[in-house]
Structure 1
Amino acid sequence: MGEYATLWALAKRDGLFPILQHRTYTTLTKYFLETSIPTIVNLNCSLVWNSMNLHVYNKLNKGERSKIAEEGIYIDGYPTSVSLFHRHRNEIMKEFRFKKQFVERAQAELYRLRENRQNVVFVGVHVRRTDYSQFLKGRFQAQLVGEVYFTRAMDYFRKKFPSSLFVVASDDMDWCRSHLKPINNDVVFAGNRNTENPAEDMALLAACNHTIISYGNFGFWSAYLGGGEVVLAGNISSVPTELQHSIRSANISNWQFFPGF
């Protein structure tokens, strides 16, 4: 999703024609309505692609970018620039509209979770663990945030919205049940951990009014599609992750970093 949004914004900025890799197109169209960027297999073109990463490409001036684009540019790596696509937020949101079944399932689940509560403010909580532990340690000499961070973030929303109901989704629901302590039954563990169908959890989190996330693209997009206030973990390492840096650069209103520890 980050690659798609960045490609869309790059093409708009530079007046170029964007083309998706077919695997990206195939993945996105499982969960979202038809995207506006075509896949390469639908086009009859035989360009010789110039491969470069996003940082190198952005250092070129407009004339250089236009000249090299004549032969086609392949942006390699995992190009994501929140500051670049956030200025087109309204249009980007139209690119990521969940298919009907995911929207209906999310709304039905929130209705079920509401029960007899009045004036509920849903706060989605995404807890990324498992595979991310080794990534943080190896790449940034950092560790996963724990109970202290999530309690701090939840208490913030409890104070601001006394009728908050925290809707938790995670790849480690056992950890969540052991460490995210409810007050007056205000925490529900609704995530399904179905990695084969991640759109179910993302659509559920995006349907909430506000969001608490730890790190990672799944949490970012769950919060970004949802709108509202967002709390995310900061100061988890001496060097910010690429995504953290990109989010800070975008200066998104109603997003704030809380200390991770």
Structure 2
Amino acid sequence: MIYGFAAFTVTFVFFHSTNNFSILNKTNESYLCPYFEGGLGNHMFIYASLYGIARDKHMTLLLNSHDEINTIFQLNVTKLRSTKNICSKSFIIQERLPCTYDSEILNFDRKKVVKLKGFLQSWKYFIKYEDEIRKQFVFERLIQDQAQEIIDSHINKYKSENDSHRHFTIVGVHIRRGDYLRPDNKELGYNVAPMSYIEKAFTLFRNKFTHCVFLVFTSPNKNDKKWLKKNVNGPDIIKIGTNKRDVDMCALSQCNHTIITVGTFGWWAAWLSNGTTVYYKNVAVQNSKLRQYFSEDMLDFFPSQWIGL
């Protein structure tokens, strides 16, 4: 699939020559190289932000065809068997604040091969190209089928035990705790969402919509599973077993609305769902190092239309 735009064209290009640079360099294009680190949510921020930056600066964003994100989504950028010949010689720029939009890091010479390192966790880097990003962040068909099967099996069982003729509003809930409770992360300033926040979020949706059903997902961390089993219960709550992370994100994205706690995984599930999103706003301890990574109002990270509790 090829998407064409008036000022910029993004295409699938697969080169199998070992001399990729000599082929590409004939076009006199300038190149932007990613540096992927972290989990799936991190990779999605890195890709989306670099895509937006490449569009703004009329550069070619390069990916390795084997990059993990390519196995989950069909992305509309230049893909090479290996970017090593080009990106190993790149001019490296390091971001300063991972969760804040920083226009200064964009003031680089577009004629150079540039590798922008950092998590780039601000929707402001790609908001102008939101429609293009949404067209790309469509899960592969097998992932979609597995996710839909999870939703259907639980909702059908729920309907069989309740009024099968009702229209249910499905709210996806993502609860993450485990790694945020590690001593190093707590020292940095990470918070986890308390049960009081989750109860407030449930109440908000119960008051806003009729016949809500909450599909609750959590990480594979055994302590998170125990915490979920003990604390999150109710007649309209369905706890989902842990699946592959891409399948879980896809399932969350197919829900009508979203409640998230902490982390980029939940952030992207909510963004893809594109319904009403409630988020835990105290993700970083005040005056901590982590809090300094965010803008003062945190709205460089959280979209303003989301509801913070």
The TM-score with structure 2 as length reference comes to: 0.71
Q: 1:243 to 1:206 in 2, by over 3 A?
A: farther
Q: Does 2:49 align with 1:6?
A: yes
| 8 Å contact from structure 1 (residues 83, 247) kept in 2 | no
Per-residue displacement from partner, 1:137-168 (whole Å, max 9, x unpaired)?
1222x431221110110111011112110001
What is the DSSP-based 3-state SS (H/G/I as helix, E as strand, rest coil) of the residue aligned with 1:59?
helix
What is the DSSP-based 3-state SS (H/G/I as helix, E as strand, rest coil) of the residue aligned with 2:76?
coil
| 8 Å contact from structure 2 (residues 217, 240) kept in 1 | yes
| 8 Å contact from structure 1 (residues 86, 250) kept in 2 | no
What is the DSSP-based 3-state SS (H/G/I as helix, E as strand, rest coil) of the residue aligned with 1:35?
coil
What is the DSSP-based 3-state SS (H/G/I as helix, E as strand, rest coil) of the residue aligned with 1:12?
helix
- 1:181 equivalent in structure 2: 233
| 8 Å contact from structure 2 (residues 258, 276) kept in 1 | yes
Q: Which runs of 5+ in 2 are unaligned?
A: 1-43
What is the DSSP-based 3-state SS (H/G/I as helix, E as strand, rest coil) of the residue aligned with 1:208?
coil
The structure whose Rg is larger is 2
Task: Flag the structure with higher helix content.
Answer: 1
Query: Using the alignment, how far apart are the partners of 1:152 and 1:93 within structure 2?
Result: 30
Query: Using the alignment, how far apart are the partners of 1:46 and 1:2 within structure 2?
Result: 23
Cα distance, 1:235 vs. partner? 2.5
Cα distance, 1:40 vs. partner? 4.9
Query: Using the alignment, how far apart are the partners of 1:60 and 1:156 within structure 2?
Result: 39
| 8 Å contact from structure 2 (residues 170, 255) kept in 1 | yes
Q: Does 2:272 align with 1:232?
A: no
Q: Does 2:195 align with 1:147?
A: yes
What is the DSSP-based 3-state SS (H/G/I as helix, E as strand, rest coil) of the residue aligned with 1:18?
strand
Q: Return the letter of the residue paired with 1:59.
A: E
Within 5 Å, give how 1:1-261 maps onto structure 2: 1-20=44-63, 22=64, 26-32=67-73, 34-42=74-82, 46=86, 48-55=89-96, 58-59=103-104, 65=108, 68-115=109-156, 116=159, 117=164, 118-134=166-182, 136-140=185-189, 142-171=190-219, 172-182=224-234, 185-192=235-242, 194=243, 197-236=244-283, 237-239=285-287, 240=291, 242=293, 248-249=299-300, 252=303, 254-258=305-309
Q: Return the letter of the residue paired with 2:253.
A: A
| Number of residue pairs matched by the alignment | 245
What is the DSSP-based 3-state SS (H/G/I as helix, E as strand, rest coil) of the residue aligned with 2:279?
strand
Q: Percent identity between the aligned chains?
A: 24
Q: Which runs of 5+ in 1 are unaligned?
A: none
| 8 Å contact from structure 1 (residues 126, 170) kept in 2 | yes
Cα distance, 1:250 vs. partner? 6.3
RMSD, matched Cα: 2.6
Q: 1:173 to 1:87 in 2, by over 3 A?
A: farther
Query: Using the alignment, how far apart are the partners of 2:231 and 2:106 within structure 1?
Result: 50
